[in-house]
Structure 1
Amino acid sequence: MTSELQQQAKEPVSAAMAGPYGHPLHPMLVTVPIGAWVASLVFDVASYLVGDPAFLVKGSLWLIAVGVLGALAAALVGFLDLFAVPTGTPAHRTALVHMALVLAVTAGYVVGFLWRRGTVEAAGPVGLGPLLLSVGCLLALAVAGFLGGKLAFRYGVRVADEATQAEGYRRPAEPTAPAQDRSTVSP
């Protein structure tokens, strides 16, 4: 039963929308909001170090917007991946906490965007409040990322099973094993 539940979490609910077996789209898409939001914080800090910080303040605002849009795309695909994780399992509970944190972070950045939007034309660096909100959001995002890593690397959610992974470790001189149906392979 456990191996069936593990295999269920490896298969996409919709390969067309979430990525085919062994190639999930969610990990690829999360790089957009993570990169945009980290760069936004770098711009925020840099706005305190230059004489005319207006370009950094505006850049940070738009990096936050790019991050929110990227997070929404990643969330849609991640939500599909959640459907593959059997309910009532530690992997499912971890996935729910991961999702809740990421949604809270995204909401925090939406609030930050709206807050900054009203003050973007003001002279000077990013305000202390929006800066602290970004720091808090990034810290929560780091925890969410840790949980996402736990889903993939500890629980194997959307990761190919060991028999499929073994293809990458076969030396050219070794005979290949007969092809097996993925749905019957026990990890």
Structure 2
Amino acid sequence: MTADPQQAEPDPYRAKHPVSAALAGPYGHPFHPILVTVPIGAWVASLIFDLASQVVDDPEFLARGALWLIAIGVLGALAAATVGFLDFLALPAGTPAFRTGLVHLSLNLAVTVAFALDFVWRRAEGTHGAVPWGPLLLSVAALAALTVSGYLGGKLAYRYGVRVADETTQATGFQR
């Protein structure tokens, strides 16, 4: 009697190793967590610029800075998504890790689209004064979704161990 391959237990160690070490980072050193700092930092800074543009006498430089921080964030998100997708490909379908990864991926895609639309909206409005409330509120909503997605990304790494070295490898850091 042969075992049905569809019923076989997924290999949890498969998600610890990169699909392509050259593209996604070597074992124990994934590129995705490093790259996500660019869009997160740029988009948070853009919101700070947005808020500051509401209270200064000459807000144009802040509105223009926020616009370009959003663009930097979108480009950074595309780079992070590329290597993140490679990590996602290593997740066995039908598992809680896969479902969490799919929601994480979908939220990040929605956030990136929201910020791309935010950029277009701001370009159309111009940067002649304080950031209008519509684009500012879109940034707030997108950052709220990004927060949820970041929580899920943490769950993937710290609860499910996606692209995290196995415990035996980790233990070598505590040997004398």
Common fold: TM-score over 0.5: yes
| Alpha-carbon displacement from aligned partner over 1:89-139 (angstroms, at most 9, x marks no partner) | 0000000000000000000000000000012243x2100000000000000
How far apart are residue 161 of structure 1 and its match?
0.1
Note if 1:133 corresponds to 2:138: yes
Give the equivalent residue in structure 2 for 1:58. Answer: 64
Gaps of 5+ in 1: 172-187
What residue identity is the alignment partner of 1:92? F
Of 147, 154, 161, 1:156 maps to: 161
Give 3-state SS (helix, strand or coil) of 1:131's partner: helix
How far apart are residue 49 of structure 1 and its match?
1.2
| Alpha-carbon displacement from aligned partner over 1:114-167 (angstroms, at most 9, x marks no partner) | 000012243x21000000000000000000000000000000000000000011
TM-score (norm 1): 0.88
TM-score (norm 2): 0.94
Give the equivalent residue in structure 2 for 1:35. Answer: 41
Note if 1:6 corresponds to 2:9: no
Give the equivalent residue in structure 2 for 1:178. Answer: none
| Alpha-carbon displacement from aligned partner over 1:18-62 (angstroms, at most 9, x marks no partner) | 000000000000000000000000000000110000000000000
What residue identity is the alignment partner of 2:110? A
Note if 1:166 corresponds to 2:171: yes
Give the equivalent residue in structure 2 for 1:114. Answer: 120
What is the rounded CA distance, in whole Å, between the counterparts of 1:71 and 1:101 in structure 2? 12
Please, what is the CA RMSD of the aligned residues? 1.0
How far apart are residue 88 of structure 1 and its match?
0.6
Identity of aligned residues (%): 66
What residue identity is the alignment partner of 2:137? L
| Alpha-carbon displacement from aligned partner over 1:57-80 (angstroms, at most 9, x marks no partner) | 000000000000000000000000
Gaps of 5+ in 2: 1-7
What is the rounded CA distance, in whole Å, between the counterparts of 1:5 and 1:114 in structure 2? 43
Deviating runs (4+, > 4 A) in structure 1? none
What is the rounded CA distance, in whole Å, between the counterparts of 2:127 and 2:119 in structure 1? 14
Give the equivalent residue in structure 2 for 1:19. Answer: 25
Give the equivalent residue in structure 2 for 1:44. Answer: 50
